[in-house]
Amino acid sequence: MEFVMAIVIGILFMAAVYLILSRSLLKIILGTGLLSHGVHLLVLTMGGLSGASPPVLAEGVTDYADPLPQALILTAIVISFGVTAFILVLAYRTYAEHQTDDMNLMKGNDEHD
């Protein structure tokens, strides 16, 4: 299963990088969203996918899924959500101020060369 997941993660990374390299601000944000999904799945996959039951104590169960990567991903999800919300608003403000979302036009001011 890890083999399939590795390929899925690779596709997520590829799509994310492709979007991030584009000139449109919105596409860059979409790209960061895909990138964080890719990372979360990567952490989960690296922890191993062989666990038979969720990491909640239950009678007669010994083969739990690894809880540590899950805790790490939980933290990461929340943080990436915070960051996504922030850059979304940042994009909104940028668009409101500059009336463009073309990254090539946001080169800084030539006067400050």
Partner 1 sequence: MEFVLLIFLPIVVALFVPLLFRKLKAIHTGWFVLLVPIALFIYYTGFITTTMDGGHALSELQWIPSLGISFVSYIDGLSLLFTLLITGIGALVVLYSIFYLDKNREKLNNFYVYLLIFMSAMLGVVQSDNVISLYLFWELTSISSFLLIGYWNTRDGSRFGALKSMMITVFGGLMMLGGFILLGIMGDTFSIRELIANAPTFIGHEFFTLALVLVLLGAFTKSAQFPFHIWLPDAMEAPTPVSAYLHSATMVKAGLYLVARFTPIFAVSEVWIWLVTGIGLLTLFWGSIFAVKQTDLKAILAFSTVSQLGLIMSLLGAGALAYHSDDPIFKFATFAAIFHLINHATFKGSLFMIAGIVDHETGTRDIRKLGGLMSIMPVSFTVAFIGSMSMAGLPPFNGFLSKEMFLQSMLAIRHFELFNFATWGIVFPVIAWIASVFTFVYSFYFVFKTFAGQRKSEPLPHKPHEAPIGMLVSPVILAALVVGIFFIPNLIGKWFVKPAVMAVQPGLYSHPSEVAVHVMAWHGFDAPELWMTVSLVGVGIVLFLTMARWQKLYDIQPEYLSLNALYDSAMLFSEGGMNRISRFYMTGLIRTYLMYMFAFIASITAATLFIKEAFVVDMESFAPVNLYGVLTAIVLVIAVCMVLLAKTRLSAIIALGGVGYSVALFFVIFKAPDLALTQLVIETISVALFLLAFKHLPSLSNHGQTKRNKLGNLIIAAGVGITVTLVALSAHSQKLIPSISQYYKDTVATEAGGGNIVNVILVDYRGFDTLFEIAVLSIAGIAVLAMIRLKLSRKGENTDENK
Least Cβ distance, residue 43 to partner 1 (angstroms): 10
Cross-strand partners of 24 = 102
Q: Examine residue 52 and tell whether it contacts partner 1 (CB under 8 A).
A: yes
Least Cβ distance, residue 113 to partner 1 (angstroms): 9
Least Cβ distance, residue 90 to partner 1 (angstroms): 6
- The residue count of the chain comes to 113
Question: Interaction with partner 1 in 74-93: which residues (CB under 8 A)?
Answer: 74-75, 77-79, 81-86, 88-93
Residue 74 CA to residue 9 CA, distance in Å, equals 18
3-state secondary structure of 102: strand
Q: Which long-range contacts (CB under 8 A, 24 or more apart) does 82-86 make?
A: 83/32, 84/29, 84/32, 84/33, 84/36
The 9-48 contact track toward partner 1, x by CB under 8 A, reads xxxxxxxxxxxxxxxxxxx--x--xx--xx-xxx-xxxxx
Least Cβ distance, residue 62 to partner 1 (angstroms): 9
